[in-house]
Chains A and B, each alone.
Chain A
Amino acid sequence: MPHPQVVPDEYVAALRAYLTGDPGYDELSQRLADRDGDEGGNVYAALLGMTFLIAARRRFPTYTSADLIRFVARTRADTGPAGAGVDPQIAERTLRGALGEPSAIDGIADITRATAIMMLLPALLTNDGARLAELDALLAGARTQADRALWARHGQTMDQP
């Protein structure tokens, strides 16, 4: 079981495997899910969310609605049936949420948003021209942010009466 406030190395490795198309990703993620359950899922979600936020802001330092619509459409078109099955408005709102419009994700279930992020994130990095070294730096930054977020979340829980 991972410490609830710290992202373990294996989780960074799992996300890296997903983003690089490593065939070992499915086995690794399943092993971590079986071992760590919901608590691990929360930690992984924090890492995934922070990685998405950083990647989205790098890809879209400024944007118009049309930019986001076209990006989501291109990504869905390029990812076959899995991408076509993602609701485009959910994907656009998820992207807006990462770009500084927090109200955009109101009412979207965490699992639904995570599905959209898993589709969008590789495309954000591809379009960013990220090389492996850059990916590792990005993941390291995301991990630091996720650690802080987990600390903050844990602290809030402890402070409650």
Chain B
Amino acid sequence: MAVTDQQAAMLHAYLTGDAATHAQLRSQPAPADGGAGYGALFGAAFCVAVERRFAPNDSPAAVIEFVADVRSRSDSLASKIDPAAAEKLIRAVYTDELIGDLDRETRLLTQYLLLGALVADEHLDDRGLNEFVGEARKLADQWLSQSG
């Protein structure tokens, strides 16, 4: 199993804010993998984005202030992002923080919103965004091959 071009295009559309393309791709027949490829790609993109932004020796304050900055951008983000969950999900990427207490819905919504902010903050051009999606796809493919 591997990430498909359609799934990579969906991530690209989300990150560029191209809602029409994203919706059009989503409306296509579900892939044979039941969405596992997109789930892996999405999770991998979050990890790549976090690792680009934070380093293991960063203080906890860096994560606290980043999450607060994102939540400060709109009332919608302030209400939708649980800051404690967001901080935990970020730290979990590069520490041994456990996230088993977070339900799936909270995890996915929080990663979804944080990923948009992390990538937006990088101010990537087309080439940079393609490299980012490529890097995430490579990591997701590794995960998928390991999971059989």
Given that A65-B75, A66-B72, A84-B60 are contacting pairs, would A73 and B65 also be in contact in the complex, using a CB cutoff of 8 Å? yes
Chain B window 63-74, contacts with chain A (Cβ cutoff 8 Å), 1 for yes, 0 for no: 011011101110
Docked Cα-Cα span, A84 to B83, in Å, equals 11
The residue on A at minimum CB distance from B86 is A88
The residue on B at minimum CB distance from A65 is B78
Docked Cα-Cα span, A87 to B69, in Å, equals 16
Given that A69-B71, A69-B72, A84-B60 are contacting pairs, would A89 and B65 also be in contact in the complex, using a CB cutoff of 8 Å? no
B135 at the interface (CB under 8 A from A): no
Stretch at the interface among A74-82, A124-132, A140-148: A74-82
A72 at the interface (CB under 8 A from B): yes
Interface residue from A74, A78, A81, A89 paired with B83 (Cβ < 8 Å)? A89
- B contact residues around A66 at 8 Å (CB): 71-73, 78
Cross-chain contact A77 with B75 (CB below 8 angstroms): no
Chain A window 50-69, contacts with chain B (Cβ cutoff 8 Å), 1 for yes, 0 for no: 00000000000000011001
The residue on B at minimum CB distance from A88 is B83
Given that A69-B78, A89-B84 are contacting pairs, would A76 and B64 also be in contact in the complex, using a CB cutoff of 8 Å? yes
The residue on B at minimum CB distance from A81 is B60
Given that A89-B82, A89-B84 are contacting pairs, would A84 and B64 also be in contact in the complex, using a CB cutoff of 8 Å? yes
B61 at the interface (CB under 8 A from A): yes
- A contact residues around B78 at 8 Å (CB): 65-66, 69
SS of B interface (majority): helix
CB proximity to A under 8 Å, residues B48-95:
59-61, 64-65, 67-69, 71-73, 75, 78, 82-84, 87
Interface residues on A, range: 10 to 19
- B contact residues around A78 at 8 Å (CB): 61
Docked Cα-Cα span, A78 to B59, in Å, equals 11
Q: Count of B residues near A, CB < 8 Å?
A: 17
Docked Cα-Cα span, A72 to B87, in Å, equals 14
A70 at the interface (CB under 8 A from B): yes
Docked Cα-Cα span, A76 to B71, in Å, equals 15
Q: Which residues of A contact B (CB under 8 A)?
A: 65-66, 69-70, 72-74, 76-78, 81, 84, 87-89
Could you show 30 A-B contacts with beta carbons less than 8 Å apart? A65-B78, A66-B71, A66-B73, A66-B78, A69-B68, A69-B71, A69-B72, A69-B78, A70-B68, A70-B69, A70-B72, A73-B64, A73-B68, A73-B69, A73-B83, A74-B65, A74-B68, A76-B64, A77-B60, A77-B61, A77-B64, A77-B65, A78-B61, A81-B60, A84-B60, A84-B64, A88-B64, A88-B83, A88-B87, A89-B83
